[in-house]
Structure 1
Amino acid sequence: LFGPETPALYGSVGKSIAITANLACSPCVSAANHRKTPCHDNVCMQAITVTQVLEKMVHQLNEADQERAR
């Protein structure tokens, strides 16, 4: 799950799916601001829903099942 940071820089390697709300203010932390932010309300994380996460997990599990069947 990504909010204040970007999956482009901090995402995992391999067959993973980054989940982000893609808000205009995100990412708000970077090396340029020494990974500090004035934000005290993590709307970027709160905007990611359980349904979004579940859908991505189901997708990943289905892909893994298909690869295993090959």
Structure 2
Amino acid sequence: MSEWACGCCGRWRVSVELIRGRYCYRLVHRYPERFGGGKNVLGEVSSVGELARLLRRRTPLDLADLREAG
């Protein structure tokens, strides 16, 4: 599974999974440990264009703000 995180704080993450022969992009917001941790799935889409629209709609980010998570 590949994963990208935002360059500013790392709390916004996009993972890519292969499910039944199709790629699924999942947008997740992670909470800091001091607030109990955890994550909130904001959406799942099947194309990069839809991912760009989801990012604009649900986050202050764009595709260019994402970096590969290490």
Instruction: Calculate the TM-score normalised by the size of structure 1.
Output: 0.30
Structure (1/2) with the larger helix percentage? 1
TM-score (norm 2): 0.30
More contact order relative to length (CA 8 Å, sep ≥ 6) = 1
> Which structure's residues are more often strand, by fraction?
2
The structure whose Rg is larger is 1
